[in-house]
């Protein structure tokens, strides 16, 4: 019997002990788009045998791990102070979650004690299990589109198996708001309100499979966040990115998306160094600046924050 491509189920749950399957169930369902699985990443070692005849040789697979990529709509939980269903995914990207009950949920980067996920992915009745999964995320706001969290996870490989499909609840995922003038009331760089086409914050995690005797795992060994945005050009007296880049000036970035409590997301970068502008772009015969900025820590682990209220 053919397996239907759209018959996907994605479950994810934070692990208590690294690399031990936390057993995600139907309540841990993830509502995702553009799901893509590479179940057996790794290397194939040739045996390099010397034989008395010509021909191909077999190989030995090593450092086998899995890669899973997908997007999740960026929307709150619907209730201030209640974490969204995608919270565990962001936490497994070297991010801390701070909850103020009834008020807010805030995410910010952390350098140590990174959490990990067990991810169960099913297509038809075939279940793929990734354990010890950690990853990277890009927060993407594009005008006239939906805001997304774009994830890429690496996890330790386990053999897939045939399993009974669970009934999955996705009720915790509320409908997102499109990125429009009405729904995105605030976007500023250095305190200057600008007309924005897009903004992407890449968490820049260095996600490394590490396979040694006595220890195998997926580690986040470094991070280097970056921001890319496209905005309508303005007179240099209003904002001069060329002078800011030449002076290595740090500026603040603020973006607020959403209007109703429980579904307002505020992305804040308190200090970002303006990089050299790469050129000018023509969009509908309007000049646009593609700008690059690098979030800089002040006291550490404060390069950016995403606050849901």
What's the token pair of residue 63? 């450092």
Amino acid 1: pLDDT: 75
Amino acid 202: pLDDT: 98
Cα separation of 226 and 223, whole Å?
A: 10
Q: Looking at residues 124-151, what average pLDDT do you find?
A: 98
Q: What angle do CA 80, 85, 88 make, to 5 degrees?
A: 110
Amino acid 219: pLDDT: 98
Residue 246 above 80 pLDDT? yes
Amino acid 253: pLDDT: 98
Name the residue with tokens 């990125």. Answer: 179
Q: Looking at residues 9-28, what average pLDDT do you find?
A: 97
Residues facing 152 on adjacent strands: 69, 136
Segment 202-234, tens digit of pLDDT? 999 999 999 999 999 999 999 999 999 999 999
Q: Looking at residues 262-289, what average pLDDT do you find?
A: 97
Amino acid 33: pLDDT: 97
Residues facing 34 on adjacent strands: none
Question: Is the distance from CB of 254 to CB of 186 less than 8 angstroms?
Answer: yes
Segment 152-202, tens digit of pLDDT? 999 999 999 999 999 998 999 999 999 999 999 999 999 999 999 999 999
- The proportion of the chain whose per-residue pLDDT surpasses 90, expressed as a percent, equals 96
What's the token pair of residue 98? 């701070």
Nearest by Cα to 19 from 221, 218, 220, 222: 218
User: Pairing relation of β-strands 205-212 and 215-223?
Assistant: antiparallel
294 Cα distance to chain centroid = 17
Amino acid 162: pLDDT: 96
285: confidence class by pLDDT, cuts 50, 70, 90: very high
Amino acid 2: pLDDT: 86
Which of 44-58, 251-265, 266-280 is predicted least confidently? 44-58
Q: With left for phi above 0 and alpha for psi between -120 and 50, is residue 279 left, alpha or beta?
A: left
99 Cα distance to chain centroid = 20
Question: Is the distance from CB of 253 to CB of 193 less than 8 angstroms?
Answer: no
For the chain, the domains span: 8-40+64-308
Amino acid 165: pLDDT: 94
Q: Looking at residues 1-22, what average pLDDT do you find?
A: 94
| Distance set, CA 60 to CA 19, 48, 51, 53, 57 (Å) | 24, 11, 18, 21, 10
What's the token pair of residue 7? 């018959």
Q: Looking at residues 115-134, what average pLDDT do you find?
A: 97
Amino acid 5: pLDDT: 87
What predicted TM-score, i.e. pTM, was given to this entire model? 0.96
Amino acid 3: pLDDT: 87
**Burial class of residue 16, CB neighbours in 10 A (0-12, 13-18, 19+):** exposed
């Amino acid at each position: 019997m053919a397996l239907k491509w759209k018959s996907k189920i994605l479950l994810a749950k934070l692990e208590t002990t690294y690399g031990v399957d936390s057993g995600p169930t139907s309540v841990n369902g993830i509502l995702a788009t553009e799901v893509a699985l590479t179940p057996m990443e790794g290397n194939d070692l040739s045996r390099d045998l010397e034989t008395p005849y010509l021909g191909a040789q077999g190989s030995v697979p090593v450092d086998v791990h899995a890669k899973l990529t997908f997007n999740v709509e960026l929307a709150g939980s619907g209730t201030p102070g209640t974490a969204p269903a995608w919270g565990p995914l962001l936490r497994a990207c070297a991010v801390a979650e701070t909850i103020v009950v009834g008020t807010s949920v805030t995410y910010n980067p952390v350098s140590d004690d990174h959490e990990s996920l067990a991810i169960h992915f099913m297509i038809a009745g075939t279940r793929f299990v990734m354990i010890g999964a950690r990853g990277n995320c890009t927060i993407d706001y594009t005008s006239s589109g939906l805001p997304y969290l774009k994830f890429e996870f690496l996890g330790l490989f386990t053999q897939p198996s045939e399993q009974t499909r669970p009934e999955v609840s996705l009720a915790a995922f509320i409908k997102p708001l499109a990125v429009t003038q009405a729904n995105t009331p605030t976007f500023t760089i250095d305190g200057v309100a600008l007309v924005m086409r897009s903004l992407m914050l890449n968490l820049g995690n260095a996600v490394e499979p590490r396979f040694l005797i006595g220890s195998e795992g997926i580690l986040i060994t470094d991070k280097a966040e970056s921001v890319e945005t496209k905005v309508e050009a303005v007179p240099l007296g209003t904002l001069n990115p060329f002078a800011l880049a030449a002076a290595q000036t740090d500026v603040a970035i603020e973006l607020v998306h959403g209007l109703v409590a429980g579904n307002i997301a505020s992305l804040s970068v308190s200090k970002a160094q303006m990089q050299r502008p790469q050129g000018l772009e023509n969009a509908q015969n309007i000049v646009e600046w593609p700008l690059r900025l690098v979030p800089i820590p002040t006291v550490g682990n404060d390069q950016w924050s995403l606050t849901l209220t």
